[in-house]
Structures are given as structure tokens and as C-alpha cells.
């Protein structure tokens, strides 16, 4: 009798333990579902929204990595990187009333630099001279202006971009235009200036969309910490900015999806929870995926302080248009807040312009609940 009782007790204990393990597994799975499932931005069903046009030589090879800005009526305007049949990167323009359908598109580049090293701005349309393909093999491009970002501060719209003129010359340049000229398609750009050091290789710096403590604020590094340079004027900085960031992917958070950090994405967006900064990173365990998109929140008053960071990427390249030319790339240069939704404008596979969106509050709640940094 006692033996039967002991056997029954052991069976009950084993059953209870199995139930506990099952409940724990279900809770862990649910937790992963919340963390990973709620993090995803939703791709627009009609992606890609802009693709190369073979009949336009200046954008026949690629149209990607778009900067974005809204006008006062909620219309969205993009400046995208275009690679021509000559292999030079120039800047094209497109606009949309709803932020999804870009039926207004320029027939010619709206900004171009053939020789960034000499700070020579081309008239448009340009004559598409052939560069040396041996000297200029950058991400599908042989030189020019790459990966623009846009912010509006007061009456001016500022564009930062990577000026590429050979592997020994990758610098951050900035130009500006009156907002009234921009929205009326009068491309009266100011002469660009270089803000990064000529002795360094730098890419992907972003401006805050408003002054902080009366100064223009430039994020020039996000790893190992947020580095910001404050200047009185963005049109004539007194000295070139020396950034401590090394070139190439840098070590990120160990044992996280972003253990290799690449760069900031679009300029920060101001929210009631903090500055929302999207960024590019990768996981050493998945070297075939070169770019994933994450999000962090920076303190409004002290934007070098990170208050939350996404425990999972919000966008991972999985669609055909994110692997069409260069596999495993989602690369965001533009983002806007429209009707309480976050719209992300990104390059897919170094070839197409794409859109993804998500309710802003849901993303901020997710960051606050699962990405808070003590």
C-alpha cells in the first residue's frame, strides 16, 4: 500500500513539474511573441514605391536610401539616392500626398556632385561623364553624393549627405535651401560645406530637427555612446568636427541582436517620450544580413542619454525587394510622424525605395515596456 502511495505521489510531482515547465515555456514563448511580434513595423503592401527607371540614365541602376520631410499640409517629400548608368550617385526627388503613393517624381537629379573632393556641384541635368570604375567602387556607386538626410529648422531645409570621392575621401557634407524654394521645386541649394575632418573617414551623421540650447546639434557617433557636436551655425562651422568613432561596424551590445552597430538612420524625431532615433545594426550570428533596423529613445533635455533601446529589430530584410541587388539590406534615411503613425522610408537591397509604418504610441509603449535602460 505504501509503495503504491509513494508511486502515486511521485507521479503527481512529476506531472506538476511538467505543468510548471509547460507553463514556463508558454510564458517565455508569449514573452518572445510580445517582444518580437509587437516590434515590427508594417511594410506597405505596394512596396517598392520607387524603383530604377531604365530610360533615365541618371537613375537607371538604383533608387534607394531616401530622406523624407513633410510640408505644412502633410504631404511627404523624398530626396533619394540614385545611381546612374555611369555609376555616379545623385539625388532625385519624389512627393506624395498620403506618404505612400509617390506619383510625382523628378525627371532629372535635383542635386549632384561629380567631384566631391573639389566641392564641385553639377548643374542639372548633367552630362553624365564616365568616372573610373577602379577608383570608385562604393556600394554600387563610383562616387558622388550618397544617403541624404533632411531636417527643417526655421525657414531652411538642411540636407546632410555622404560625399564619396574614393576610399580615402568619404566625408560629411551639408547644404541648405529655403523651405519655400524646396516645396516649389526651385532647387536653389547653397554651396555645400564639409563638416567632418578631411583626415577621417565618416558617414551617416544626422542633424536634430531643432536647435538644442540655442545650438545646432549633430550626432556623429552612436557607439559606444551617443556623441553630439553643438555649433552656432551649420552654414559656416568654425572648424571641422573630429569624431572619435572608427570606420566600419563597431561592437554593440553583447548577446543582443545589435552586437555590431553600423550607424544612425534618419534624423531624430521628437516625441513626448524622448527623441526617437532609428539606427542600423547587425548580429554576428547572422553575417548574411548586413543591416537590420532598430530604435532607441534619447532624453529630450540630455540627448546623449539613452533611456530605452529596442530588444529586437523593428525591421529585418526578408522581402525580395530587400534582397534584389545587395542581399540583406534595409537602410532607412527618412522618417516622419503622420496622423499619429510613424512612417519609415528606407532603401531595400541598395536598389529600391520602400515604406513601412506603425502606430507611434504602440512603438513607444513597446520601447518603454521592454527596452527601458536603468
Integer Cα distance of 263 and 278 in angstroms? 9
Domains of the chain: total: 1
Q: For the residues 45-64, what does the mean pLDDT come to?
A: 96
22 within domain boundaries: no
How many helices (H) and strands (E) the chain has is answered by 3, 23
Domain membership flag for residue 347: yes
The pLDDT-based confidence of 235 (bands split at 50, 70, 90) is confident
User: What cell numbers appear for 71 in the block?
Assistant: 510640408
Confidence of residue 169 (pLDDT cuts 50, 70, 90): confident
Grid cell, residue 164, equals: 564619396
Find all residues with CB under 8 Å of 342, minimum gap 6, and list them.
41, 269, 276, 335, 336, 357, 358, 359, 360, 363
Q: What is the mean pLDDT of the chain?
A: 87
E-state strands within 116-240? 120-121, 143-153, 156-164, 170-178, 193-194, 206-207, 216-221, 227-231
Q: Residue 80 burial (CB < 10 Å; 0-12/13-18/19+)?
A: buried
Mean pLDDT of 280-291: 95
Domain that holds residue 209: 38-370
pLDDT band at 263 (very low <50, low <70, confident <90, very high): very high
What is residue 268's predicted lDDT score, i.e. its pLDDT? 98
Residue 83's pLDDT is what? 94
- Residues 304-329 have a mean pLDDT of 96
- CB neighbour class for 6 (10 Å; exposed up to 12, middle 13-18, buried from 19): exposed
Mean pLDDT of 213-222: 97
Give domain status of residue 9, yes or no. Answer: no
Return the C-alpha cell found at 219.
550626432
Q: Which residues contact 11 (CB under 8 A, 6 or more apart)?
A: none
Domain assignment present for 26 = no
Report which of residues 342 and 198 the model is more confident about.
Answer: 342
Gap between the Cα atoms of 277 and 270, Å rounded? 9
Task: Give the C-alpha separation, 172 to 163, whole Å.
Answer: 6
Which single residue is written with the C-alpha cell 555616379?
Answer: 88
Residue 109 lies in a domain: yes
Q: Which three cell numbers stand for residue 45?
A: 503592401
Cα(first)–Cα(last) distance of the chain, in Å? 57
User: Does 8 fall in a domain?
Assistant: no
Q: What are the pLDDT digits (tens) for 289-300?
A: 999 999 999 999
Share of the chain above pLDDT 70, in %: 83
**Alpha-carbon distance 30 to 120, whole Å?**
56
- Please report the pLDDT score of residue 137 as a whole number: 36
Res. 58: pLDDT tops 90:
yes
The answer, yes or no, to whether residue 128 has pLDDT greater than 80, is no
57 — phi, psi (to 5°)?
Answer: -55, -35
Per-residue pLDDT for 131 more than 60?
no
Confidence tier at 133 by pLDDT (50, 70, 90): very low
Whole-structure pTM value = 0.87
CATH assignment at residue 211: 2.115.10.20
Q: CB neighbours (10 Å) of residue 189? A: 18
C-alpha distance from residue 371 to each of 40, 244, 308, 311 (Å):
14, 27, 5, 6
Answer whether residue 10 is part of any domain.
no
Amino acid at each position: 500500500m505504501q509503495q503504491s502511495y509513494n508511486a502515486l505521489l511521485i507521479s503527481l510531482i512529476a506531472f506538476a513539474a511538467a505543468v510548471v515547465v509547460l507553463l514556463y515555456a508558454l510564458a517565455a514563448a508569449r514573452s518572445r511573441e510580445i517582444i518580437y511580434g509587437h516590434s515590427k513595423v508594417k511594410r506597405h503592401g505596394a512596396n517598392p514605391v520607387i524603383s530604377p527607371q531604365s530610360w533615365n540614365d541618371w537613375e537607371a541602376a538604383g533608387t534607394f536610401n531616401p530622406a523624407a520631410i513633410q510640408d505644412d499640409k502633410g504631404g511627404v517629400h523624398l530626396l533619394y539616392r540614385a545611381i546612374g548608368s555611369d555609376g555616379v550617385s545623385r539625388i532625385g526627388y519624389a512627393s506624395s500626398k498620403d506618404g505612400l503613393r509617390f506619383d510625382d517624381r523628378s525627371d532629372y537629379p535635383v542635386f549632384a556632385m561629380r567631384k566631391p573632393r573639389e566641392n564641385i556641384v553639377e548643374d542639372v541635368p548633367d552630362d553624365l561623364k564616365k568616372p573610373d570604375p577602379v577608383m570608385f567602387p562604393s556600394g554600387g556607386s563610383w562616387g558622388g553624393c550618397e544617403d541624404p538626410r533632411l531636417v527643417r529648422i526655421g525657414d531652411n531645409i538642411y540636407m546632410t549627405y555622404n560625399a564619396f570621392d574614393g576610399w580615402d575621401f568619404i566625408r560629411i557634407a551639408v547644404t541648405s535651401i529655403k523651405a519655400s524654394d524646396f516645396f516649389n521645386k526651385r532647387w536653389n541649394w547653397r554651396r555645400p560645406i564639409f563638416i567632418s575632418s578631411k583626415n577621417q573617414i565618416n558617414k551617416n551623421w544626422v542633424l536634430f530637427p531643432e536647435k538644442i540650447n540655442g545650438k545646432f546639434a549633430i550626432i556623429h557617433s552612436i557607439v559606444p555612446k551617443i556623441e553630439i557636436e553643438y555649433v552656432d551655425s551649420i552654414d559656416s562651422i568654425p572648424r571641422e568636427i573630429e569624431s572619435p568613432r572608427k570606420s566600419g561596424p563597431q561592437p554593440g551590445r553583447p548577446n543582443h541582436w545589435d552586437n555590431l552597430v553600423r550607424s544612425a538612420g534618419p534624423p531624430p524625431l521628437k516625441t513626448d517620450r524622448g527623441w526617437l532615433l532609428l539606427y542600423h545594426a547587425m548580429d554576428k550570428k547572422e553575417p548574411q544580413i548586413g543591416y537590420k533596423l532598430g530604435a532607441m529613445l534619447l532624453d529630450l533635455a540630455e540627448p546623449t542619454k539613452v533611456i530605452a533601446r529596442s530588444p529586437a529589430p523593428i525591421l529585418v530584410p526578408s522581402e525580395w525587394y530587400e534582397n534584389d541587388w545587395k542581399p540583406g539590406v534595409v537602410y532607412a534615411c527618412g522618417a516622419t510622424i503622420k496622423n499619429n503613425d510613424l512612417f519609415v522610408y528606407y532603401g531595400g537591397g541598395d536598389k529600391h525605395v520602400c515604406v513601412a509604418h506603425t502606430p507611434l504610441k504602440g512603438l513607444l509603449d513597446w520601447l518603454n515596456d521592454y527596452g527601458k535602460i536603468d
